[in-house]
Amino acid sequence: MVFERSVFGSERFGRNLIKNISELEVRALPQNLPHEIKVSIDTLSTFADRILVKDLILPNNVKVSVKPDEIVVSVAEPSKVEESWQKKLKKKLRMSRR
Protein backbone atom coordinates (compact mmCIF):
# COMPACT_ATOMS: atom_id res chain seq x y z
CA MET A 1 0.00 0.00 0.00
CA VAL A 2 1.07 3.54 -0.69
CA PHE A 3 0.03 6.17 1.84
CA GLU A 4 -0.46 9.56 0.20
CA ARG A 5 -0.86 12.96 1.81
CA SER A 6 -0.82 16.62 1.05
CA VAL A 7 -0.24 17.81 4.65
CA PHE A 8 0.35 15.67 7.73
CA GLY A 9 2.19 15.39 11.03
CA SER A 10 3.59 18.52 12.58
CA GLU A 11 1.90 20.61 9.90
CA ARG A 12 -1.47 19.52 11.31
CA PHE A 13 -1.47 19.78 15.11
CA GLY A 14 1.26 17.19 15.78
CA ARG A 15 0.17 13.60 15.48
CA ASN A 16 1.56 10.16 14.74
CA LEU A 17 0.49 8.02 11.83
CA ILE A 18 -0.20 4.44 12.92
CA LYS A 19 -0.08 1.98 10.01
CA ASN A 20 -1.87 -1.16 11.19
CA ILE A 21 -1.78 -2.77 7.75
CA SER A 22 0.99 -2.00 5.28
CA GLU A 23 0.40 -5.00 3.00
CA LEU A 24 -2.91 -6.44 1.95
CA GLU A 25 -3.54 -9.89 0.56
CA VAL A 26 -5.96 -9.73 -2.36
CA ARG A 27 -7.70 -12.25 -4.59
CA ALA A 28 -8.07 -11.53 -8.28
CA LEU A 29 -7.30 -12.85 -11.71
CA PRO A 30 -3.70 -12.14 -12.71
CA GLN A 31 -4.70 -9.38 -15.14
CA ASN A 32 -6.70 -7.64 -12.38
CA LEU A 33 -4.02 -7.67 -9.67
CA PRO A 34 -3.21 -4.09 -8.60
CA HIS A 35 0.44 -3.05 -8.58
CA GLU A 36 -0.28 -0.87 -5.55
CA ILE A 37 -3.22 0.36 -3.50
CA LYS A 38 -3.17 4.09 -2.78
CA VAL A 39 -4.50 5.28 0.56
CA SER A 40 -5.13 9.00 0.98
CA ILE A 41 -4.54 10.00 4.58
CA ASP A 42 -5.78 13.55 4.04
CA THR A 43 -9.14 12.56 5.57
CA LEU A 44 -7.50 11.89 8.94
CA SER A 45 -8.19 15.23 10.59
CA THR A 46 -8.81 14.20 14.22
CA PHE A 47 -7.37 11.62 16.61
CA ALA A 48 -10.64 9.65 16.32
CA ASP A 49 -10.41 9.30 12.53
CA ARG A 50 -9.24 6.10 10.89
CA ILE A 51 -9.32 4.38 7.53
CA LEU A 52 -10.76 0.89 7.40
CA VAL A 53 -10.28 -1.85 4.80
CA LYS A 54 -13.82 -1.21 3.55
CA ASP A 55 -12.84 2.44 2.87
CA LEU A 56 -10.11 1.45 0.38
CA ILE A 57 -10.77 2.01 -3.30
CA LEU A 58 -9.99 -1.26 -5.03
CA PRO A 59 -10.19 -2.13 -8.72
CA ASN A 60 -13.20 -4.11 -9.91
CA ASN A 61 -12.96 -7.88 -9.42
CA VAL A 62 -10.40 -7.52 -6.59
CA LYS A 63 -11.33 -8.95 -3.20
CA VAL A 64 -9.46 -8.66 0.08
CA SER A 65 -8.93 -11.54 2.47
CA VAL A 66 -9.29 -9.56 5.73
CA LYS A 67 -12.36 -8.29 7.54
CA PRO A 68 -13.78 -5.03 6.12
CA ASP A 69 -13.73 -3.39 9.58
CA GLU A 70 -9.98 -3.91 10.09
CA ILE A 71 -8.15 -0.62 10.68
CA VAL A 72 -5.63 0.19 7.96
CA VAL A 73 -4.35 3.47 9.36
CA SER A 74 -5.18 5.83 12.21
CA VAL A 75 -3.63 8.72 14.10
CA ALA A 76 -2.47 8.98 17.69
CA GLU A 77 -1.43 11.83 19.91
CA PRO A 78 2.31 12.19 20.30
CA SER A 79 3.68 10.93 23.60
CA LYS A 80 5.00 13.39 26.16
CA VAL A 81 8.56 12.23 25.48
CA GLU A 82 8.07 12.78 21.76
CA GLU A 83 6.56 16.23 22.38
CA SER A 84 9.59 17.17 24.44
CA TRP A 85 11.94 15.86 21.76
CA GLN A 86 10.05 17.77 19.04
CA LYS A 87 10.30 21.02 21.03
CA LYS A 88 14.06 20.57 21.46
CA LEU A 89 14.49 19.81 17.76
CA LYS A 90 12.47 22.86 16.70
CA LYS A 91 14.52 25.04 19.06
CA LYS A 92 17.78 23.71 17.57
CA LEU A 93 16.49 24.31 14.05
CA ARG A 94 15.55 27.90 14.87
CA MET A 95 18.97 28.50 16.39
CA SER A 96 20.79 27.00 13.39
CA ARG A 97 18.91 29.29 10.99
CA ARG A 98 20.18 32.43 12.73
Smallest CA-to-CA distance from 74 within 51, 45, 40 is with: 51
Q: What is the pLDDT of residues 79-91, one digit of tens each?
A: 655 666 677 777 7
Q: For the residues of 2-71, what is the DSSP string, one character each?
A: EEE-SS-GGGTTS-EEEES-S---EE--GGG--S--EEE-TT--STT-EEEGGGS---TT-EESS-TT-E
Model confidence over 27-44: pLDDT tens digits?
Answer: 999 999 998 999 988 888
The chain-wide mean pLDDT, for the chain, equals 81
Higher-confidence position of 14 and 11: 14
What's the mean pLDDT in 6-19? 62
**Per-residue confidence band for 10, with pLDDT thresholds at 50, 70 and 90:** very low
Looking at residue 71, what is its pLDDT? Answer: 94
Q: How confident is the model at residue 7 (pLDDT cuts 50, 70, 90)?
A: low
Percentage of the residues of the chain whose pLDDT score is greater than 90: 33
